[in-house]
Amino acid sequence: MKIAIIGAGNMGGSIAQGLSIGKLIPTSGITVSDLDNNKLEFLKSKYPELKTTNDNEKAVADADIIILAVKPWLVKPVLKELDLKRKQILVSIAAGITFEQLAHAVIEPEMPMFRVIPNTAISELESLNAIATRHVTEEQESLLLSIFNEMGTSIILPEEKLGAATALASCGIAYVLKYIQAAMQAGVEMGVRPDDAMKMVAQSVKGAAELILRNDTHPSVEIDKVTTPGGITIKGINELEHAGFASAVIRAMKVSNQ
């Protein structure tokens, strides 16, 4: 199994690293193509078996799977230069570029295609990968799930839900970080050192996520466990409500759904 990654930026570079750490694809079977040699050299220094090139055509020539990780406006020009075959699988991670647009840009519009929306936690193998499919077999779908499950958790969705998934999981990671940043500011004002405050807040966010993911409970159930009647947590929660916390989160998510 050979994989070509076009674009070694934040996402393409992280996917290259995730795949190299993973066990499914031999590192020697991964080729990364980018115009920027610094990015390629960085990857090569960490994973010497990885193949790198500046030539996209060369990268995809004998690849079974092509992961397209360039900016959305470069998808069409990059695809137009490639002679992708029907037996190959195209995986686009470009936000907002539809299957219809991808099909118009390739020589074989009926070729198997996936759209994957990961988030930046892919570098820690903790991404949420929202995946939509077009003209793929069950085997191809389970192959792609196995590949992306090595880098986090994956969910198959209809294409029209990818915008919402982008808002919730890709933009959403920035909103969670914004909460961490704000809570750290509070900690510093209360006299806690910034690095200690960061550990306290980040670990509590991680712990909250683990509570609901591992036990399959609802956030309300877990909140109920810490809100003693008349206690300090319910006071804080009600302050958040008065300040419009839930409303602000809902508005942020909705405005990011495009």
Ligand X SMILES: NC(=O)c1ccc[n+]([C@@H]2O[C@H](COP(=O)([O-])OP(=O)(O)OC[C@H]3O[C@@H](n4cnc5c(N)ncnc54)[C@H](OP(=O)(O)O)[C@@H]3O)[C@@H](O)[C@H]2O)c1
One-letter identity of residue 213: L
Q: Does 37 bind ligand X (CB under 6 A)?
A: no
Residue sitting closest to ligand X (CB) = 9
Burial class (CB in 10 A: 0-12, 13-18, 19+), 34: buried
Q: Which lies closer to ligand X via its Cβ, residue 121 or residue 237?
A: 121
Strand order in the sheet with 127-134: 51-53, 30-33, 3-6, 65-68, 89-92, 113-117, 127-134, 152-156
Stretch binding ligand X (CB under 6 A), from 69-77, 106-114, 204-212, 241-249: 69-77
121/190 Cα distance (integer angstroms)? 30
Residue window 108-147: x/- pattern of binding to ligand X, with contact defined by CB under 6 A: ---------xxxx---------------------------
CA-closest candidate to residue 165, choices 101, 205, 90, 115: 115
Q: Does 204 bind ligand X (CB under 6 A)?
A: no
Q: Does 26 bind ligand X (CB under 6 A)?
A: no
11/201 Cα distance (integer angstroms)? 26
Q: Which lies closer to ligand X via its Cβ, residue 2 or residue 39?
A: 39
CA distances from residue 87 to 67, 134, 168 in whole angstroms, order as listed: 15, 14, 33
Stretch binding ligand X (CB under 6 A), from 9-17, 101-109, 144-152, 219-227: 9-17
Residue of the chain from 2, 20, 31, 34 that contacts ligand X (CB under 6 A): 34
Residue window 150-189: x/- pattern of binding to ligand X, with contact defined by CB under 6 A: --------------------x-------------------
Residues that bind ligand X (CB under 6 A): 6-12, 33-36, 39, 56, 69-72, 74, 78, 93-95, 117-120, 170
